Structure 1
Amino acid sequence: MNTFTKAIAAALAFALTPVAYAGTEAFVAENCAGCHALSRNDAGSRAELLGPPLFHAGAKFRKDWMVRWLQSPTRIYPAGWFPPRHIESTPEGDVIDAASLVDHPALDAERAQAVADWLATLPAPEGVELSTDYTPAKVAMRMGQLDFRRFKGCVACHRDEPDSGGVSGPELYTAWERLQPGYLLNYIGDPDAWHDQPLMPVLEMNEQAVQKLVNYLYTIAETQP
């Protein structure tokens, strides 16, 4: 069974599993492991997965966001978790093969809350210390855009607004709503600590430069209607 077929089977099982399934941890293992790594030992090759690893979800995602997103999923990775599987080369350039992407199934409110509660217990990787003394501050939007798009080149892989920017990484115009500040600060500085095979390069930035990027993501969130 190939990865795409496994994903379809997992999605069907996810949607059809009754709410009375015995235990949230068992539900996650049964329905999520087909697309996500639930432990670092299960991470394997990036090409074997259809979604990001979840073994550090409690230190990465905001729980209230997880509850909402699991009920009404939207695409975070424009070209999927493994972009080469979903990108087609054309005379006009690379385009996303939308038909090859698998939608995440939605959960009802009760199950979404239970799954989010369980995921929120999963800690940061061993040895990672998350910053707790960061206070977000707005930056001038124009300067933040220049820093993100030109000076640091983040736009090559990420989008800071819909339909504008790279597709090999997650979109970041909803990053502040989705991700914990401590995760953003630590991951930007040391992605290797979170994944064994990150596509994110290790950028030589001091703490002030990292905070400037995170402040830009905060500013995007604060200026959205």
Structure 2
Amino acid sequence: MSASAGFADGAKVFADKGCGGCHYTDGPAKEKTIEDQLAKKGPELWYAGSKFKGEWLGAWLADPQPIRPMKYNSLTDKNAGDHPKLAAAEAGEVKDFLMGLVSKDVPAGVVTPKSNPQGKLIFIKKMPCSGCHKYQTGGKLVGGNTGPSLVDAGVRLNPDWILAYLANAQVFKPVKDMPNFDGILSKPDMEKVAAHVASFTAADAN
């Protein structure tokens, strides 16, 4: 099957299953106000191919596990973990469709995943990540509940997208509390942090 055929088949499954009721796939970002953000039922996917790793995405679509502790757009309700599952073949097709949705704002091949002392220090000491995101350090789970977990970020996320998001989160999420670190951190420092976060796995004990 050609890549274009896989994309088209996945787009059809995505539509037939009603996925567009919660996730929009046509970019750029649409939300302009907090009301726009709160009206969304799930995260936007117009840059999914730049954000996610394909192997992880296909497996997740077939067996979804909660990524964020709290329900989407909620500070009080826990994530029920009830995202619909797709059959294996359908998950593969939808994965092909979503991986074809990319953003020009995510240059490829910039970041290599690597736990590094500088990136770790900046992440823990200079950035407020633990206020919203869970991650593991020293074998312990730490951090907040209001944002997506970073425990398995290295399995889930494209390292280059992590950097692009740190540098200019508003391209992807214009109405969010996630800060832009451009002007706060140097580009080399952001690259070190992105490489560090991209090294996270669920078994991380560093």
Normalised by the length of structure 2, the TM-score is 0.79
Aligned partners of 1:195, 1:149: CA distance in 2, in Å?
Answer: 23
1:11-50 alignment to 2 at 5 Å? Answer: 23-30=9-16, 31-40=18-27, 43-44=30-31, 45-50=36-41
Q: Is the 8 A contact 1:131 1:186 kept in 2?
A: no
CA-based RMSD of the aligned residues comes to 2.7
Q: Is the 8 A contact 1:37 1:43 kept in 2?
A: no
Select which of 167, 187, 200 maps to 1:207. 187
Select which of 128, 147, 161 maps to 1:183. 161
Select which of 99, 122, 128 maps to 1:147. 122
Match of 1:197 in 2: 175
What SS class does the counterpart of residue 200 from structure 2 fall into?
A: helix
Over 3 Å counting, the alpha-carbon distance change for 1:207 and 1:131 in structure 2 is farther
- Residue 101 of structure 1, CA deviation: 3.9
What SS class does the counterpart of residue 37 from structure 1 fall into?
A: coil
Q: Is the 8 A contact 2:106 2:161 kept in 1?
A: no
What SS class does the counterpart of residue 104 from structure 1 fall into?
A: coil
Once the two structures are overlaid, the 10-residue window that deviates more, 44-53 or 107-116, is 44-53
1:75-86 alignment to 2 at 5 Å? Answer: 75-84=66-75
What SS class does the counterpart of residue 221 from structure 1 fall into?
A: coil
- Residue 27 of structure 1, CA deviation: 2.5
Match of 1:90 in 2: none
Match of 2:44 in 1: 53
Match of 1:66 in 2: 57
- Residue 151 of structure 1, CA deviation: 2.0
Normalised by the length of structure 1, the TM-score is 0.73
Match of 1:17 in 2: none
Give the number of the structure whose alpha-carbon radius of gyration is greater.
Answer: 1
Q: Aligned AA for 1:33?
A: G
Q: Which runs of 5+ in 1 are unaligned?
A: 1-21, 88-96
What SS class does the counterpart of residue 168 from structure 1 fall into?
A: coil
Q: Is the 8 A contact 1:173 1:217 kept in 2?
A: no
Aligned length: 188
Aligned partners of 2:19, 2:51: CA distance in 1, in Å?
Answer: 17
Q: Is the 8 A contact 2:29 2:171 kept in 1?
A: no
- Residue 134 of structure 1, CA deviation: 2.7
- Residue 139 of structure 1, CA deviation: 1.7
Match of 2:112 in 1: 135
Larger RCO (CA within 8 A; separation ≥ 6):
2
Q: Which runs of 5+ in 2 are unaligned?
A: 1-7
What SS class does the counterpart of residue 172 from structure 1 fall into?
A: coil
